Amino acid sequence: MALSASVRLGGVLLVAALGLSACGTTGDAVTKVKIFRLDPSAQRVMAGDPAIDFERRHYLHGALTSEEVANRMGNYYTFFWSVADSSSPVTLRFEYRQAKSGSEVRVVEKTIDQPRASNITEFQITGPAYTEFGKVLAWRLLVVRGQQTLTTRESYLWQ
């Protein structure tokens, strides 16, 4: 079920569609996903603006040797999420499939003991997990409390 609202401002009609969370109307949601791929085979773009290369430099900050740089190559995911009830812990379950692991689903979990109304959590698939099994092709994030799934978000290729 989706709600819509429209407002007329200076002759321009603005229409907003308000969608409800995939798991109900509780206010639990994954609101944004930021993905960054630090890929050694990708051609590096030389731009006049230093902001273009910032994220790459950010993830490589402090890596001095070629081994340290190689261990930081991989996939980085930042999830922005919210829960309506922040009184008890939640677990974020990141499930993913990689290029060289076939249909095997790998899992990384993080428990947030004191979630706030709005939260940011990062997952990274780097180092040996990345070099041995390749880039992440599909993923899904579940926000779970006990046995109840509060909300989910998945990539287009997830099945």
Task: Give the structural domain span for 101.
Answer: 22-154
Contact status, residue 145 vs residue 88, Cβ threshold 8 Å: yes
At residue 2, the pLDDT reads: 42
Q: How many domains does the chain have?
A: 1
Give the model confidence (pLDDT) of 92-126 as tens digits. Answer: 999 999 999 989 999 999 999 999 999 999 999 99
At residue 26, the pLDDT reads: 59
CATH number at residue 127: 2.60.40
The verdict on residue 16 lying in a domain is: no
At residue 21, the pLDDT reads: 38
The verdict on residue 17 lying in a domain is: no
**Tokens describing residue 113:** 């003991």
The overall average pLDDT reported for the chain is 83
Query: Mean pLDDT across the stretch 8-37?
Result: 60
The verdict on residue 48 lying in a domain is: yes
**Tokens describing residue 4:** 């819509």
Query: Mean pLDDT across the stretch 11-16?
Result: 40
Residue from 33, 12, 62, 21 nearest 122 by CA: 33
